[in-house]
Chains A and B, each alone.
Chain A
Amino acid sequence: MAAGVAAWLPFARAAAIGWMPVANCPMPLAPAEKNKRQDELIILNVSGRRFQTWRTTLERYPDTLLGSTEKEFFFNEDTKEYFFDRDPEVFRCILNFYRTGKLHYPRYECISAYDEELAFYGILPEIIGDCCYEEYKDRKRENAERLMDDNDSENNQEGSMPSLSFRQTMWRAFENPHTSTLALVFYYVTGFFIAVSVITNVVETVPCGTVPGSKELPCGERYAVAFFCLDTACVMIFTVEYLLRLFAAPSRYRFIRSVMSIIDVVAIMPYYIGLVMTNNEDVSGAFVTLRVFRVFRIFKFSRHSQGLRILGYTLKSCASELGFLLFSLTMAIIIFATVMFYAEKGSSASKFTSIPASFWYTIVTMTTLGYGDMVPKTIAGKIFGSICSLSGVLVIALPVPVIVSNFSRIYHQNQRADKRRAQKKARLARIRVAKTGSSNAYLHSKRNGLLNEALELTGSTEEEQHMTKGTSLIESQHHHLLHCLEKTTGLSYLVDDPLLSVRTSTIKNHEFIDEQLFEQNCMESSMQNYPSSRSPSLSSHAGLSTSCCSRRHKKSSHLPNSSVPATRLRSMQELSTIHIQCSEQPSLTTSRSSLNMKSDDGLRPNCKAAQITTAIISIPTPPALTPEGESRPGPGSPGPAALPSSANIVKVSAL
């Protein structure tokens, strides 16, 4: 029942008095009014913008958030209003839905944002009014396609898929020539031979000068052997290619049925048929016809050219328009041919000998070609001829824009796909940088925690302030959480290095940071200037002995990493030196060097989902943090090390 009509319900109930004298049975009791109260205004505060409405307006739809008691969760006692921390623009539409009973979709709104808001307020999108429903559905479909596109390309471009069989690699090489150099070479070679083949077919027929004593010959006959060799070479290449594709195809049956494979077959069959059929006079005519099919080799170019594929796809999708064009043209041709035939029947020596003969005239006239080989001579013929040409223009012009617009749409879609792919690469790269930079935050704070303890003993308050000031409450809680996880599992976090597998060695390595590399990283990061989205990645060791949940009681000293500001670098190195001296690590050098090697590879794409264990929490980099703040989201710093569990806290005086 529409919302507004509910307002008339009291009226309908009152009017039911008309039934009462007539009724034979007593009337049922009226439902009790529970808590009948005066209609009151309620205030909905959505991100600061206040909306007010009657309570009963909202209660028209009791299965939504605003209409049910669910909104009580959002009631703010102090201000006596319902506060929603959501988008006020979309809320306008939602509130209008309660008022008018019709849900509208504003065109300027992003479809996914709108969907989210609808989901939040418990409103089904199906009730969007007719005026806006089509637009909503269109945009939703577009968005879904786009997402699917993205997902697809993502799947395709996933890093190295380790378990591809040889056959699968081959197929991938065929489909995406950019995957490996061999594929690219293959791609270009086949392209070259297609071109060669097509050109030879063309040149074969060019008259090539005269052999003395005979008439002019086409080149094909003059240099028959050469052309035959060329042809053979091309066909061999094509055959090999076809067979390879057939072998590599994931579904051979589907491959055989596909258009490209048919083209391939048609391109090479004439040669083989020609080989088989020798100089049999009867079939040489048919043989010549077969040679025509060689021209189909040019269609093999469509694997190399995306534009060709788009064109083909357009024609396929415009099949109905093309069909209509054909049909209407046929109708018009028949009509006009008939008319012209009977009009010209009277004139002598008329070329319009029959209706089919008139077809040619009609076609030539309607397409405004006008060869002039057939011309009407009678007046009636001329009149009808002119009508024919005028109508021809119209009939042909009508379906063409449809085809053109289809082509344009598909072409732009493709462009968009390419553009998106390029943008995506850049975007992903930047995201990776941010992610790797963020993992430093945790380790940095660990170090801070350590130094805090260390410094507590030395009593250097200045450092403390520097350290502790930076981390916000959320950050510190987050770091604490990660720390607890470390303690639970007995492993610890390193900066992302997906090639470092989880090692269980008890060796903890400290990484000396190559100063130059670090500074370079700093430069990069400051230019990128990311407010952190952080996600550390999991790596190595076992055997940390510090207790969980209290930095204060840390016994061991973890020396993390990377985003140590240059100013502190030396001090850190000193600290680490001291630490190392205290520890009992034998094979430090080797591991360190190996880590060094890996780190020198620079930023590694941190894309393995398995190694990212936490969600990205966006925490703005506190500006209060001194130079550290800038350099914190630094890209791929070399793997830090947690120092092993020496039970001593080393007092550092150098700091």
Chain B
Amino acid sequence: ADSYDDDVELLTIRHQPEGLEQLLARTKFTKTELQSLYRGFKNECPSGLVDEETFTLIYSQFFPQGDASSYAHFLFDAFDADHNGALCFQDFAVGLSVLLRGTEQQKLKWTFDLYDVNKDGYVTKEVTVGNTGGLVGWGHPHGHLPAPCVLQDMLEIMKSIYAMMGRSTETALGASAPAQHVELFFQKMDRNGDGVVTFEEFLATCQEVRGFGQGPSSSSSCL
């Protein structure tokens, strides 16, 4: 009975986006682009809100062989600016605006925020807090003891990316492939070797390693 009531509630929640003018101000899209974006958004989610489950469902359809749910979870968190558990059109449009029309720095910031799973400002490799005291302070430079949970920034991200490829790759490459990849990443990124990557390090490395304008997220090719 509870789930049914919840469903009913979700149906009755309808969210209207803020006006077109305001969105125009907040994003870098043109009016027609916003219109076209909204039409697609509203078609898929008539109620105006995307909850994480629907979001995961939609995103998974692009990766039929793999399991995109974990990566979708991270994406959802990244897009959900106000962290209310549902994506509204503003979040969607603003996020897309950054990704497609933002400056390189803005894009990198967005990516960094994506990697920073626990949103503490640092991208960590992996930290396990447990009774093995040796690892306790390893991930966090300020010496605070993190809350007794598992902090896994990059490893989680990496594992979720690999998961999207599907089970076949996992068995072929072995379970350690993500970890190795994380190692490589940290070797590149972690300038001062303190085990975490700050935004400055990230920015510096990315800007010098390659131009950030290629790939599927180049601005005009999406809309």
A contacts, CB < 8 Å to B: 1-2, 4-5, 7-22, 24, 26-27, 29-31, 33, 38-39
Q: Which residue in B62, B107, B157, B158 is a CB contact (below 8 Å) of A17?
A: B107
Q: List 6 A-B contacts (CB under 8 A).
A: A7-B41, A8-B59, A18-B111, A18-B157, A21-B115, A21-B206
Q: Are A22 and B107 in contact (CB under 8 A)?
A: no
Cross-interface CB contact of A14 among B74, B99, B185, cutoff 8 Å: B99
Interface positions, chain B 95-154, Cβ under 8 Å from A, are: 96, 99-100, 107-108, 110-111, 114-115
B22 within 8 A of A: no
Name the A residues within 8 Å of B41 (CB-CB).
7
- Of the candidates B62, B99, B111, B216, the one whose C-beta lies within 8 Å of that of A27 is B216
Query: Contacts A21-B206, A22-B158 hold; do A14 and B36 have CB atoms under 8 A apart?
Result: no
- Which one of B36, B108, B158, B206 has the highest number of Cβ atoms from chain A below 10 Å of its Cβ? B36
Query: When A and B form their complex, what is the total count of cross-chain residue pairs whose Cβ atoms lie within 8 Å?
Result: 100
Contact B44 A26 (CB under 8 A): no
Q: Quick one: closest A residue to B189, CB to CB?
A: A21
Within 8 A of A (CB), among B194-216: 202, 205-206, 210, 212, 214-216
Q: Which of B44, B74, B108 contacts A8 (CB 8 A)?
A: B44
- Find out whether the CB atom of B61 lies under 8 angstroms from the CB atom of A5: yes
User: How many Å lie between the Cα of A21 and that of B221 in the bound state?
Assistant: 20
- Candidates B44, B100, B189, B210; contact of A7 at CB < 8 Å: B44
| Candidates A12, A13, A24, A29; contact of B184 at CB < 8 Å | A24
Kindly report which residue of chain A lies nearest to residue B110, judged by CB atoms. Answer: A17
15 further A-B pairs in the complex, CB-CB below 8 A; given A4-B44, A5-B58, A33-B220: A2-B61, A7-B40, A7-B43, A8-B62, A10-B223, A11-B222, A13-B216, A18-B111, A20-B111, A21-B115, A21-B202, A21-B206, A22-B185, A30-B216, A30-B218
Q: Which residues of A contact B108 (CB under 8 A)?
A: 21
In the complex, A26 Cα to B214 Cα: how many Å?
9
Does B44 contact A5, Cβ atoms closer than 8 Å?
Answer: yes
Contact: B36 with A33, CB < 8 Å? no
Report yes or no: B161 in contact with A27, Cβ–Cβ below 8 A: no
**Chain B min CB distance to A60 (Å):** 11
> Is residue B75 contacting chain A, with contact meaning CB distance below 8 A?
yes
Q: Nearest chain-B residue to A36 (Cβ)?
A: B220
Contact yes or no, A22 B110, CB < 8 A = no
* Cβ 8 A contact of B75, one of A13, A15, A24, A27: A15
B40 touches A8 (CB 8 A): yes
Cβ distance A56 to chain B, nearest Cβ, rounded Å:
9
Residue of B75, B114, B222 most packed against chain A (CB within 10 A):
B222
Map CB proximity to A onto B17-54 as digits: 1 under 8 Å, 0 otherwise. 00000000000000010001101110110000000000
Known contacts A4-B40, A18-B111, A18-B114: A30-B59 contact under CB 8 Å: no
Interface residue? B181 (CB, 8 A): yes
Interface residues of chain B: helix, strand, loop or mixed (majority): helix
Residue contact B158 to A27, C-beta cutoff 8 Å: no
Question: Which one of A7, A21, A31, A39 has the highest number of Cβ atoms from chain B below 10 Å of its Cβ?
Answer: A21
Nearest 6 pairs of A and B residues by beta carbon: A7-B40, A27-B215, A10-B222, A14-B99, A17-B217, A13-B216
* Chain B positions within 8 Å of A18 at CB level: 71, 74-75, 78, 111, 114-115, 157, 161
Q: Are A12 and B62 in contact (CB under 8 A)?
A: yes
A38 partner residues in chain B, CB cutoff 8 A: 32
Instruction: Enumerate chain B interface residues (CB-CB to A < 8 A).
Output: 32, 36-37, 39-41, 43-44, 58-59, 61-62, 71, 74-75, 78, 92, 96, 99-100, 107-108, 110-111, 114-115, 157-158, 161, 181, 184-185, 189, 202, 205-206, 210, 212, 214-218, 220-223
CA A18 to CA B71, docked complex, whole Å: 10
Residues of A near B222 (CB, < 8 A) are 10-11, 13-14
Q: How far, in angstroms, from A528 to B75 measured CA to CA in the complex?
A: 75
Distance in Å: Cβ of B26 to nearest Cβ of chain A: 17
Bound together, the chains give a CA A19 to CA B216 distance in angstroms of 10
Q: Are B181 and A20 in contact (CB under 8 A)?
A: no
A35-B106 Cα distance, complex, nearest whole Å: 30
- Distance in angstroms from B103 CB to nearest chain A CB is 13
Are A14 and B212 neighbours in the complex by a CB distance under 8 Å?
no
Q: How far is the CB of A152 from chain B (nearest CB, A)?
A: 47
Are A19 and B40 in contact, CB atoms less than 8 angstroms apart? no
| Docked complex Cα distance between A24 and B202 (Å) | 15
Chain A residues with CB below 8 A from B32, complex form: 38
Give the shortest distance, in Å, between A100 (CB) and chain B (any CB).
8
Instruction: Identify A33's interface contact among B114, B212, B221, CB under 8 A.
Output: B221
Closest B residue by C-beta to A54:
B39
Q: Could you tell me if B96 and A27 are in contact, using CB atoms closer than 8 angstroms? A: no
- For B61, list chain A residues within 8 Å (CB): 1-2, 5
Which residue of B36, B71, B96, B115 is within 8 Å of A39 (Cβ)? Answer: B36
Residue numbers in B under 8 Å from A9 (CB-CB): 62
Report the separation of the CA atoms of residues A19 and B212 in the bound assembly, to the nearest whole angstrom.
Answer: 12
Contacts of B110 in A (CB 8 A): 17
Bound Cα distance from A10 to B40, whole angstroms:
10
In the bound complex, how far is the Cα of B43 from the Cα of A2, in angstroms?
A: 12
Which residue of chain A has the shortest Cβ distance to B206 in the bound complex? A21
Residues of A within 8 A of B158 (CB): 22
Q: How far, in whole Å, are A9 and B62 apart by their CA atoms in the complex?
A: 8
Instruction: State the CA gap A1–B64 with chains docked (Å).
Output: 10
Complex interface: chain B residues within 8 A of A7 (CB): 39-41, 43-44
Among A20, A24, A29, point to the contact of B212 (Cβ < 8 A).
Answer: A20
Least distance between A283 CB and chain B CB atoms (Å): 75
Known A-B contacts A5-B58, A11-B92, A15-B99; A22 and B216 likewise in contact (beta carbons under 8 Å): no
User: What distance in Å separates the Cβ of A314 from its nearest Cβ neighbour in chain B?
Assistant: 43
| Given A7-B40, A30-B215, residue A12 in contact with residue B59 (CB < 8 A) | yes
**In angstroms, how far is the closest chain A Cβ from the Cβ of B100?**
5
Residues from chain B with a CB closer than 8 A to the CB of A39 are 36
